[in-house]
């Protein structure tokens, strides 16, 4: 189970392009002076994701989905709010949290000189698994994601879809109870997307381990087809949460796309919808 309560994070605005030392120095001086303008990437995001369910984090580009998931993975320290995974506080025991979580992040680079299997086993070993166990698990997952033929090829020549599959298997190698996926369908073709959807559905079932799955996307068809519950994020806030049916009912729309646009793209509603 993943619980996120009222997290917020702001960053210093990116510095204007600098050329040369004099410019860089001036930039530094300016930064000290006015502490720089802040960009609020996440203002107030809350949601709860349960085991055996797929929770969709739906929001337009720049809504703060990736930042939220990075905070969940202890990569960024939030300015405010609390997060816990299976009751373990992310801020206090980040390593225990990471051991119970498989994260497919926005960046999903592989090591091109290693084979898919070596890429996967490396992460298994970093999770503290025995090499044999990690290897066996890689084999199992590869069968599930239909990539057995890829296992012993170097990842240098992989297609986008092959790379995604490898990265996904790599994130799942330690059989985590919680799975967090950041825009997993980016760059995948129809067949690969469909295969991924099937795999996620299976992971949700008791046979697949009743995983708690959170995935972020800006594609509502994904959400409609897959999610047990939806969290709509816009302008760094949770603006609505519920099942697809509940959200349709709440907005009085029959088309989910219309409902999403109504929820996510109306700036004035942003403040009210915070309660998830």
Partner 1 sequence: MMRGAAAALVVLRKELADALRDRRTLATVLVSSVLMGPLVLLAISGLVATLESRAEQREVYVAGLAHAPTLRNYLERQTYTVKEAPADFEARLRSSKFSDPVVVVPDDFETALVRGDVPVVEIVSDSANQRSEASTGRIERLLGGFSRERALLSLALRGVSVQLLEPMQIEDRDLASTQTRATRITGMLPYFVMMAVLYGALNAALDTTAGERERGSLEPLLMNPAERWALVAGKWGAVACVSMLIAVLSSFSFLPGQWVLRSDTLAAMFQYGLREALLFLVVLLPLAAALAAVLMAVAIRSKTFKEAQASATIVVLAVSLLPLVNLFELGGEAPWHLWVPALAQNTLMTRILKGEDLGLAQVIVPLSVCVLLTAVGVWYVARQLRQAALK
Per the CB < 8 A criterion, the answer to whether 169 and 158 are in contact is no
Beta bridge partners of 57: 216, 231
What residues between 201 and 230 interact with partner 1 by CB under 8 A?
Answer: none
Tell me the closest approach of the beta carbon of residue 103 to partner 1, in angstroms: 4
Tell me the closest approach of the beta carbon of residue 246 to partner 1, in angstroms: 32
10 touching partner 1, by CB under 8 A: no
- The correct pick among 42, 110, 223, 227 for binding partner 1 (CB under 8 A) is 110
Per the CB < 8 A criterion, the answer to whether 255 and 224 are in contact is no
Selected range binding partner 1 among 1-9, 78-86, 100-108, 187-195, rule: CB under 8 A: 100-108
> Which of residues 106 and 198 has its CB atom nearest to partner 1 in the complex?
106
Distance CA 10, CA 40 (A): 4
125 touching partner 1, by CB under 8 A: yes
Selected range binding partner 1 among 57-65, 105-113, 233-241, 256-264, rule: CB under 8 A: 105-113
Structural element, H or E, at residue 128: none
> Which of residues 154 and 250 has its CB atom nearest to partner 1 in the complex?
154
Q: How many chain residues are in contact with partner 1, going by CB under 8 A?
A: 32
165 touching partner 1, by CB under 8 A: no
Tell me the closest approach of the beta carbon of residue 163 to partner 1, in angstroms: 10
The single-letter DSSP state of residue 228 is: S
96 touching partner 1, by CB under 8 A: yes
Tell me the closest approach of the beta carbon of residue 114 to partner 1, in angstroms: 6
**Based on C-alpha coordinates, what's the Rg of the chain?**
20
137 touching partner 1, by CB under 8 A: no
Tell me the closest approach of the beta carbon of residue 221 to partner 1, in angstroms: 26
Distance CA 239, CA 242 (A): 11
* Secondary structure in 3-state letters for 191-224: HHHHHHHHHHHHHHCCCCCCCEEEEEECCHHHHH
The single-letter DSSP state of residue 269 is: G
> Which of residues 131 and 194 has its CB atom nearest to partner 1 in the complex?
131
> Which of residues 66 and 229 has its CB atom nearest to partner 1 in the complex?
66
Residue 101 gets the label, from left (phi > 0), alpha (psi -120 to 50) or beta, of beta
Give the full edge-to-edge strand order of the sheet including 237-242.
88-89, 80-85, 2-12, 38-49, 237-242, 229-234, 53-58, 212-217, 178-182, 101-104
Residues that bind partner 1 (CB under 8 A): 70, 73, 75-76, 94-96, 98-99, 101, 103-114, 118, 122-123, 125-128, 167, 170-171
């Amino acid at each position: 189970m993943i619980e996120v309560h009222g997290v917020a994070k702001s960053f210093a605005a990116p510095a204007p392009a600098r050329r040369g030392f004099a410019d860089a120095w001036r930039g530094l001086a300016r930064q000290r002076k006015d502490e720089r303008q802040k960009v609020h990437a996440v203002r107030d995001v809350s949601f709860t994701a349960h085991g055996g369910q797929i929770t969709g984090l739906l929001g337009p580009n720049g809504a703060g989905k990736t930042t939220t998931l990075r905070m969940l993975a202890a990569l960024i320290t939030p300015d405010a709010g609390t997060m816990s995974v299976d009751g373990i506080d992310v801020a206090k025991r980040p390593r225990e949290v990471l051991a119970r979580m498989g994260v497919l992040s926005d960046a999903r680079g592989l090591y091109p000189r290693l084979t898919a299997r070596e890429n996967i086993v490396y992460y298994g070993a970093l999770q503290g698994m025995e090499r044999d166990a990690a290897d066996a698990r890689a084999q199992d997952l590869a069968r599930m994601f239909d990539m057995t033929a890829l296992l012993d090829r170097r990842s240098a020549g992989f297609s986008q879809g092959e790379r995604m599959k490898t990265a996904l298997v790599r994130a799942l190698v330690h059989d985590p109870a919680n799975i967090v996926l950041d825009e997993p369908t980016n760059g995948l073709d129809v067949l690969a997307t469909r295969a991924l959807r099937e795999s996620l559905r299976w992971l949700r079932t008791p046979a697949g381990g009743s995983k708690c799955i959170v995935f972020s996307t800006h594609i509502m068809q994904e959400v409609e087809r897959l999610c047990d519950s939806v969290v709509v994020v816009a302008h760094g806030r949770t603006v609505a949460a519920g099942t697809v049916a509940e959200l349709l009912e709440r907005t009085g729309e029959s088309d989910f796309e219309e409902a999403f646009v109504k929820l996510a793209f109306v700036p004035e509603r942003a403040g009210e919808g915070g309660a998830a």
